[in-house]
Structure 1
Amino acid sequence: MDVIRRSQATMDPTGLTVETPSGKHTPFNSRKIHAALADLTNDPTVVHRVESLIVAQLAGFDVVATGTIQATIVDTLEQLGYAHMAKSYLKANH
């Protein structure tokens, strides 16, 4: 599943809705991304940097699929040179 609907009005993730594979809609919770990243490294600077970039990318959407969130996490980690963390994330989430 891919992005459902891109927002034209805001870059704030507080109104973001996540669509699960079953079609259920739930409010976006950035703490889940933080926790997933913290499981991959003990470096709070890395966690903050990556989390901020991921949330900024997702903030432009009204509704986003969980698969898109996962792909954004992996892509961001790889683009920042954390390929080992991306592989560990994929292993833990698949």
Structure 2
Amino acid sequence: MNESMSVREARANLAKLLDQAEEGEATVITRGGAPVAAVVPIEEYEALEEAADELLARKALRTLAEEGDEPRATLADVLADLFGPSATDVA
């Protein structure tokens, strides 16, 4: 079961939170009684990051498949949109 504690308790018990994370236990941090963050084992965080990357890659592949041969923006187009037309002179 995940433990939860307030921000105040978390500040006072940071070393304990890190020890628990190393042991595989997650702790939910609350502010005003509402969950706002979690201290989790690094393996769980890395797995979450990998899953998010995989979902983004799948979404990108679906988008490319749906668009077919439609024209895509060039790097110069993106730079011009971000920084103005003079940015394309650098690229």
TM-score class, shorter-chain normalisation, is under 0.3
Q: Which has the larger radius of gyration?
A: 2
Normalising by the residue count of structure 1, what TM-score does the alignment of the two structures yield?
0.22
What TM-score, normalized by structure 2, do the two folds share? Answer: 0.22
